[in-house]
Amino acid sequence: MSENIDTTADGCDSEGFPLVTAPQPDPVAAREEFLKIYPDKTRKKRAKQLLVNSDPAKPAEIGANSRTIPGIMTQRGCTYAGCRGVVIGPMHDVLHITHGPVGCSFYSWQTRRNLARPTPGQTNYLQYSMTTDMMEDEIIFGGEKKLAAAIREAYRIFKPKAIAVYATCPVGLIGDDIHTVCRLAKEELGINVFGFSCEGYKGVSQSAGHHIANNGVFKHMVGLNDTPDEGEFRINVFGEYNIGGDAWEIDSLLKKCGIHVTATLSGDISYEQVTKCHTADLNVVQCHRSINYMAEMMETKYGIPWIKVNFIGGSSSAKSLRKIAKYFDSKKLTDRVEEVIAQEMAALRPVQDEIKARCKGKTAALFVGGSRAHHYQDLFKDIGMTTVAAGYEFAHRDDYEGRDVLPSIKIDADSRNIEQLNVEADPTRFRARKTPEQDAALAAGGFTYRDYEGMVREMKKGALIIDDISHHELEKLIEIYKPDVIASGIKEKFIIEKMGIPCKQLHSYDYGGPYAAFTGAANFYKEIDRMVNTKVWKLVSPPWKRDPQTPARLVYQPKAARADIEEAPKTWKAPGKTAESLKAEG
């Protein structure tokens, strides 16, 4: 089989990683430099989360999915964000009601760019931000009545097929029983109404919200409609949320190959599609972190196996298509997949070659969520760039080290807080998709199920792996490594740019995308080419260089080194304010 993206021929080392042009720092010394500022206890904890990839074949144990130390500026979000915002939020005809103060709803509304384009006749509620708008009264006397009224009102106006209710922090604190309210509303209205106890504080990050969302979708939606879609080679695409239109790219690629997608969870998906997704014959998992729970539960209950795929990057997309074809073991599908890969690569290769000539030898660092920091490394590699440092915000050890470490992951109090559903095979609907003989033949051909090997194995020896990176570490990384581009989120984007490095926002893509599949890969190459080959970032002069007294420079430093900035708060004045007016304001 021909390899479509040639990363080993020009400018690569013996392991196939692109050669880096600029001299690179010693990662062990860099790590020491990152850590030395911290007080002892903090340093001890951060040391477990900040590793040098000394042996990619045997990933070292990383401290992941643990609480962020107070005082550290983290990129993380909350449990509510992971549940309402990430996993269920993109379902376009489920009406989502946030039970809480108005801010939680407003700030979880649409900024993630999970796009939807419902077919005629379907509804799209994504442009609405619905909340019970809890006020002091409800916090003191309880918010259940207001929630029941909100559900009735929403039903009267919109007549949705399903309403999902999300609990925010105060709801958990005052003890509103949202599940009873939902059950009564379901009986009264005759539609599906269900709630999620996804209070922001429930877990150490949004990761807990993913798990809570998976449980709720599995309990309340999956399996309600047993009518399978027509179409051959039926699969579900899991962990793809259609940011900037990615799911549409993947859909149309699969369609060209003759593969039918029953449901994408949850990018641009309807309620109906979720209810029948248990009728498909294979689950392919893109974002392992957010949806591995669902893949596992569906395999246990309905017998649908799952495999890991990655449609980010040209070579990764080709590999994923071939893996799906191998599973279905059909000559027709295999031939079609090869034809499509050949066509897509014929269009992508000239773009890739042209851009690679300008980008090769450059470096990138990625700090994103729970899967992109890994997947997007393939796109950089496609154009001859090397990832010198990467890390997730909230992923678990298996996303770094591979699923074989799962049995050794310690369950701590924070993880125990999240319900683990007890799932069994469905007495009538469990159907093994392959016979033991077929599975044995697949295994003999090198095919593996449930096969996420994690980020570390695919990174270069000596690269830095940093979990839940802090702002201090990010600044140090820029100072020491000077990567050509950093892919991360909105919270640190402007710090990075002010330090003279272009930043590709990989959560909502700024206003770009799609980046998935072959067409998306071309979009990404072009954008990175523009970013790393412009001089504009080198011309930026950040405020703290013009005025070293700027309070933004007030980082923690050992006392002796702090003398020069100690004076800053006394001399700095807010713009337009005098010392007198500040005094008057107290």
Residues classed as catalytic:
78, 81, 112, 210
For 524, the token pair is 């990404």
Out of 244, 369, 483, 520, which residue is the one contacting ligand CFM (CB under 6 A)? 369
Of 321 and 487, the one with the shorter C-beta distance to ligand CFM is 487
Out of 5, 167, 287, 516, which residue is the one contacting ligand CFM (CB under 6 A)? 287
Specify whether the CB–CB gap between 285 and 292 falls below 8 A: yes
Contact between 313 and ligand CFM by CB under 6 A: the answer reads no
Secondary element (H or E) of residue 253 = helix 246-257
CB of 184 to ligand CFM, least distance (A): 32
Out of 243, 254, 274, 418, which residue is the one contacting ligand CFM (CB under 6 A)? 243
Instruction: State the maximum Cα–Cα separation within the chain, in Å, rounded to a whole number.
Output: 84
All residues at 6 or more sequence positions from 359 whose CB lies less than 8 Å from its CB, including other chains: 383, 384, 385, 525, 528, 529, 532, 533
Contact between 371 and ligand CFM by CB under 6 A: the answer reads yes
- Output the CA–CA distances (angstroms, integers) from residue 246 to 64, 103, 237, 354, 433, in the order listed: 28, 28, 12, 24, 28
Of 193 and 474, the one with the shorter C-beta distance to ligand CFM is 474
Q: Which stretch binds ligand CFM (CB under 6 A): 10-18, 117-125, 148-156, 239-247?
A: 239-247
| Category of 29 on φ-ψ map: left (φ > 0), alpha (ψ -120 to 50) or beta | alpha
Contact between 362 and ligand CFM by CB under 6 A: the answer reads no
DSSP-derived 3-state class of residue 583:
helix
Closest CA to 382 of 34, 12, 73: 12
Contact between 519 and ligand CFM by CB under 6 A: the answer reads no
DSSP-derived 3-state class of residue 367:
strand
**What's the rounded Cα separation, in Å, for the pair 558 and 37?**
7
Of 246 and 382, the one with the shorter C-beta distance to ligand CFM is 246
CB of 80 to ligand CFM, least distance (A): 12
Our measurement of the distance from residue 518's CA atom to the centroid of its chain's CA atoms, rounded to an integer in Å, reads 20
CB of 375 to ligand CFM, least distance (A): 8
**Cβ-proximal residue to ligand CFM, closest one:** 369
CB of 111 to ligand CFM, least distance (A): 10
Q: Which stretch binds ligand CFM (CB under 6 A): 95-103, 366-374, 413-421, 457-465?
A: 366-374
- Region 103-142 residues binding ligand CFM, contact defined as CB under 6 A: 112
**What's the rounded Cα separation, in Å, for the pair 390 and 352?**
23
Beta strands in 14-121 (DSSP E): 50-52, 94-99
Out of 195, 223, 370, 514, which residue is the one contacting ligand CFM (CB under 6 A)? 370
Calculate the CA dihedral of residues 237, 439, 4, 256 and round it to 10 degrees: -40
Of 86 and 250, the one with the shorter C-beta distance to ligand CFM is 86
Out of 86, 147, 379, 466, which residue is the one contacting ligand CFM (CB under 6 A)? 86
Closest CA to 193 of 138, 224, 134, 151: 151
Of 111 and 180, the one with the shorter C-beta distance to ligand CFM is 111
Contact between 513 and ligand CFM by CB under 6 A: the answer reads no
Q: Which stretch binds ligand CFM (CB under 6 A): 238-246, 301-309, 409-417, 569-577?
A: 238-246
Contact between 289 and ligand CFM by CB under 6 A: the answer reads yes
**What's the rounded Cα separation, in Å, for the pair 236 and 383?**
30
Out of 17, 196, 241, 306, which residue is the one contacting ligand CFM (CB under 6 A)? 241
Peptide bond into 108 cis (omega under 30): no
Contact between 276 and ligand CFM by CB under 6 A: the answer reads no
Sign of CA dihedral 72, 76, 79, 81: positive
CB of 270 to ligand CFM, least distance (A): 19
Q: Which stretch binds ligand CFM (CB under 6 A): 128-136, 236-244, 400-408, 469-477?
A: 236-244
All residues at 6 or more sequence positions from 5 whose CB lies less than 8 Å from its CB, including other chains: 313, 314, 315, 318, 345, 352, 382
DSSP-derived 3-state class of residue 427:
coil
Interface with ligand CFM (CB under 6 A): 82, 86, 112, 206, 239, 241, 243, 287, 289-290, 368-372, 507
